[in-house]
Amino acid sequence: MDLFSVICATVAAFIAGAVWYNVLSKPWLRATGLPTDESGRPKGGGSPAVIYGLGFVMQLVVAGMMRHVFVLSGIETLGAGLVGGLGIGLFFITPWIALNNMYAMRDRKLTLIDGGYATLACTIMGIVLSLF
């Protein structure tokens, strides 16, 4: 596992996010409560290039840390990578998203959508990292 595996894991998770949020964009927008313009996009949003660029960098950080944890834990098989990634997404990241959404009094659907993606993305990262 090296930098190339981290980049591959990030790209795979990022692509999954594009599909996930394209499918769930309308329910996600309703759950966020963000005002939208006439085209249905959030009003006053930042530059998509900046948002997607920073999103990629943040996922790169997660994949890099997952790689570090996997190396320290001796996770090398596909099954172990899948379970490790699933566990990180489901038991570390999703509860934190739920906590933030609970305190912000956000719709529970937002936690299901964002937590579901975090779990899917980390599972994909775990699988990809275990392939190298």
Q: Where are the beta strands (DSSP E) in the chain?
A: none
Q: List pLDDT tens digits, range 55-66.
A: 999 999 999 999
Torsion of CA 79, 85, 86, 90, to 10 degrees: 160
Band of the pLDDT at 101, cuts 50, 70, 90?
A: very high
Contact 32, 106 (CB under 8 A): yes
Q: Supply the pTM of this predicted model.
A: 0.92
Task: For the chain, give the percent of residues with pLDDT over 90.
Answer: 85
For 74, phi and psi rounded to 5 degrees? 75, 25
d(CA 83, CA 126): 8
pLDDT of 13 strictly over 70: yes
Integer angstrom CA distances of residue 112 from 9, 35, 118: 23, 20, 10
Q: What is the pLDDT of residue 43?
A: 81
**Length of the chain measured in residues:** 132
